Amino acid sequence: MNTLRQFGAAPNLLTLLRLFVLPYLVIEILDSEWKLAFILLWIAGITDGLDGLLARKLGQTTTLGQYLDPIADKLLLSTLFLVLTHVELIPRYVTVLVFSRDLGILLISMLLYITNTLRDFRPSGLGKVNTAVQIVTVLLVMTSQVFLTHRLHTVCHWLLIAVAWLAPMSAAQYAWLVMRRVQSPGTQNPTAA
């Protein structure tokens, strides 16, 4: 399937819908329209779940989708961290740690790719946990603006602390795993975060 036709595949259309929803989600958060922002976040989440399911069920797994889906996911999550920090719902230090981790991993991966040292970057266990905790944290931080409860705010507080610890820990694990992989002769199959 050529690249242009890949845009028409149902899973890729859902991924594009997720990207289309993102600016409106940001606008609603900045305008403190939390109920509408909450609905848009759920639309983005549902499209994320459905695109992979449809790709498998319809046999529409595409090269474009393999790149577009993780880019859309990272863009959504990173943008939400930034905008929620801007409206003072996520502390700056948490967002700085999250972005520092992502930037460090991106730079290492690019360097390894460009030098043809390693080419296959799969998530590590701690990297998956880190991403899952970030997603749950953003979801609950936004939920706490719609359903105002002290218990939910307490859970968000502890999740933000967990994100602040997991980001550098998963970055350190990534660096360690890549170093081991690079030092072992003849391997081209790294583990990434």
Domain ends where: 88, 106, 134?
A: 88
Looking at the fold, whether 190 and 107 belong to one and the same domain comes out as: yes
In sequence order, which residues have a C-beta less than 8 Å from that of residue 79 and are 6 or more positions away? 22, 26
What pLDDT score does 192 carry? Answer: 46
Mean pLDDT lowest among 93-97, 160-164, 185-189: 185-189
Residue 28, helix vs strand vs coil = helix
Same domain? 17 vs 58: yes
The residues near 175 (Cβ < 8 Å, ≥ 6 apart) are 104, 108
- Same structural domain for residues 50 and 97? no
Residues 126 and 185 in one domain: yes
- Cα–Cα distance measured from residue 193 to residue 190, given in angstroms and rounded to the nearest whole number: 10
Does residue 19 sit in the same domain as residue 49? yes
CA nearest neighbour of 54 among 80, 24, 3, 17:
17
| pLDDT band (50, 70, 90) for residue 185 | low
Q: For 50-59, 67-76, 126-135, 149-158, which range has the lowest pLDDT when averaged over its residues?
A: 50-59
Q: Supply the range of the domain harboring residue 117.
A: 91-193
pLDDT band at 191, cuts 50/70/90? very low
Q: Are both 95 and 184 inside the same structural domain?
A: yes
pLDDT at 107: 83
